[in-house]
């Protein structure tokens, strides 16, 4: 079986045997990014906001999301039930990914800004 190998600088991808000396090796169980993107969200009221990820009926179990707030601060969002509140103006909760969307609940606690940016990375979940 053929493999894809990308070794760190100074290492030979063909002869290297230490997994820690690879940037990527297809034989090892590593997360592979299936989809990534960003979407500008225009806040129109407290509630659930969704962004389509376009993976056609693939329900990922591994993902990472970040939110860029109006003041320029960017923070990683955590999953279901957790709350991320950057400052007194925003609260983001219940981040999830389903077969169609990345979703999250946004509440504005103060201020008048209306533009947020969601960044997402969806990973392939290895079966073995």
The secondary structure of 37-69 as a DSSP string is EEEEEE--SSEEEEEE---SS---SEEEEEEE-
The pLDDT mean for the chain works out to 86
Check residue 79 and give its pLDDT: 66
pLDDT tens for residues 19-49? 888 888 888 877 778 889 999 999 999 999 9
**In this structure, are 50 and 83 located in the same domain?**
yes
pLDDT tens for residues 92-108? 888 988 889 999 999 99
Q: Which residue has the tokens 């990820």?
A: 53
pTM value is 0.74
CATH number at residue 75: 2.60.120.1290
Contact 117, 42 (CB under 8 A): no
Q: Which letter does DSSP use for residue 12 in this model? A: -
**In this structure, are 13 and 65 located in the same domain?**
no
**In this structure, are 54 and 13 located in the same domain?**
no
**In this structure, are 26 and 45 located in the same domain?**
no
Check residue 88 and give its pLDDT: 76
Q: Cα(57)–Cα(84) distance, rounded to whole angstroms?
A: 28
């Amino acid at each position: 079986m053929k493999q894809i190998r990308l070794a760190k600088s100074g290492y030979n991808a063909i002869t290297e045997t230490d997994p820690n000396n690879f940037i990527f090796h297809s034989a090892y169980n590593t997360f592979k990014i299936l989809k990534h993107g960003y979407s500008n969200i225009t806040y129109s009221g407290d509630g659930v906001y969704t962004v389509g990820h376009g993976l056609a009926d693939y329900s990922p179990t591994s993902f990472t999301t970040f939110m860029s707030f109006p003041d320029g601060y960017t923070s990683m969002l955590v999953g279901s039930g957790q709350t991320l509140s950057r400052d007194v103006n925003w609260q983001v909760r219940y981040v999830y990914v389903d077969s169609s969307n990345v979703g999250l609940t946004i509440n504005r606690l103060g201020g008048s800004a209306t533009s947020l940016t969601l960044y997402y990375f969806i990973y392939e979940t290895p079966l073995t």
